[in-house]
Amino acid sequence: MADNIKLEVVTPEKSVVSEEAQIVMSPGSEGEFGVLDGHTPFLTTLKAGMIRYKDTSGAERAVFVSGGFAEALPDRVTILAESAERRRDINIDRAKAALSRAEERIGKGMSDNEIDVIRAKAALIRAITRLNVVQTK
């Protein structure tokens, strides 16, 4: 049986996850990737998405990340995220409100300010992803 790996998910403000995991699945900017014990080392950027991992008891856990970097080593995965929240810490009402605001901003067609549209689309992706993390079993 394979050994576990150490998973660290940190933001500039705090450590979100620091525990052993059987497997880690993460949203790389070029696609989802998985890491098991003994993985070949690599470094990659992350897009907004869901980190899924199995803890040492086999229970699946989920963490929202808004982007950042991941480093995989043979015995650990370190995620340096812009922001991150465990499934249990996501405020559903706040995520729904952010989704509505982003949809409203995009719907207004702020063609005179392209940066606002880009930011609204990024906010939309983050809100949808947070809600998906909460709804994933």
Q: Report pLDDT digits (tens) over 82-130.
A: 999 887 877 788 888 887 787 777 777 655 566 677 777 777 787 777 7
Residue 88, pLDDT score: 82
Residue 60, pLDDT score: 93
Residue 113, pLDDT score: 64
Nearest Cα to Cα of residue 31 among 49, 58, 9, 19 = 49
- Rounded CA separation 111/108 (Å): 9
Mean pLDDT of the region 16-44: 95
Structural tokens at position 87: 């499934």
pTM of the full predicted structure?
Answer: 0.76
Q: Are 125 and 48 in contact (CB under 8 A)?
A: yes
Architecture of the domain delimited by 5-87: Sandwich (2.60)
- Rounded CA separation 3/105 (Å): 48
Structural tokens at position 106: 């995009």
Residue 2, pLDDT score: 67
Residue 109, pLDDT score: 64
Q: Which residues of 35-64 are buried (b: 16+ CB within 10 A; e: fewer)?
A: bbbebeeeeeebbbbbbbbeeeeeeebbbb
The pLDDT confidence band at residue 7, using thresholds 50, 70 and 90, is: very high
Question: What is the sign of the dihedral through the CA atoms of 60, 38, 69 and 49?
Answer: negative
pLDDT digits (tens, 9 = 90+) for 50-81: 999 999 999 999 999 989 999 999 999 999 99
